[in-house]
């Protein structure tokens, strides 16, 4: 199920592919007093599309934990809410079917190997707020052809074509 809702000039995409998906119970979180960190999902193997909610149990989701969705064999699409400012190391590593990632407008850091080994990843949408890409964030993403960067000031999207083999670095 993919639902696209137009709200004014913006498009909001909501996707729930697993019919028994219950964000409050399926997501595994930790709260350290400062940040609510999404550590993963209880039915990782069954998830094809994940739209991370901006808050769980009344607390904002502020980061995606290390290895949170790594090795998810069926994951094809993910959207991270604007509340998230950090995607930790290896968060989406080795998701062989992942094709598209729509990342948070508030995102500031993408951790080391965050998307490495995602050979079918074709498109990534990020905000110009991202200040830091750790080493090999997209290593081995051989299908990655474009990165869409959304301006935090104007909301306009600029598409960059990706050059290189994506093993060591990405050039835009």
Quick one: tokens of 2? 């993919």
CB contact at 8 A, 95 and 138: no
Which residues are CB-contacts of 97 (< 8 A; sequence separation ≥ 6)?
Answer: 48, 73, 74, 75, 76, 120
Among residues 115, 100, 106, the alpha carbon closest in space to that of 148 is found at 100
pLDDT digits (tens, 9 = 90+) for 94-137: 999 999 999 988 999 999 999 999 999 999 999 888 888 888 89
pLDDT for 27 equals 66
pLDDT for 103 equals 92
pLDDT for 130 equals 87
- pTM, entire model: 0.76
pLDDT for 36 equals 67
The string of DSSP codes covering 64-92 is: EPTTTTTT-TT--EEE--TT--EE-TTTT
Helix (H, G, I), strand (E, B) or coil at 24: helix
pLDDT for 39 equals 74
Cα separation, 108 vs 36, in Å, equals 16
User: Low-confidence residues of the chain, pLDDT below 70?
Assistant: 1-28, 31-34, 36, 41-46, 163-172
Cα separation, 82 vs 106, in Å, equals 5
pLDDT for 25 equals 55
pLDDT for 89 equals 96
């Amino acid at each position: 199920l993919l639902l696209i809702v137009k709200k004014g000039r913006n498009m909001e995409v909501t996707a729930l592919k697993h019919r028994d998906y219950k964000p409050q119970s399926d997501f595994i979180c930790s709260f350290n007093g400062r940040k609510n960190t999404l550590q993963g999902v209880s039915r990782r193997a069954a998830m094809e599309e994940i739209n991370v909610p901006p808050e769980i149990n009344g607390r904002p989701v502020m980061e995606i934990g290390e290895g949170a969705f790594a090795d998810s064999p069926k994951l094809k699409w993910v959207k991270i809410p604007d509340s998230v400012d950090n995607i930790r190391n290896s968060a989406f590593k080795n998701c062989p079917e992942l094709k598209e990632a729509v990342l948070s407008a508030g995102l500031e850091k993408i951790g080391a190997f965050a998307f490495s080994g995602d050979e079918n990843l074709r498109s990534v949408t990020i905000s110009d707020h991202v200040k830091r890409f750790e080493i090999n964030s997209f290593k081995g993403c051989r299908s990655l052809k474009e990165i869409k960067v959304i301006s935090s000031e104007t909301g306009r999207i600029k598409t960059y074509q990706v050059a290189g083999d994506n093993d060591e670095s990405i050039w835009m």
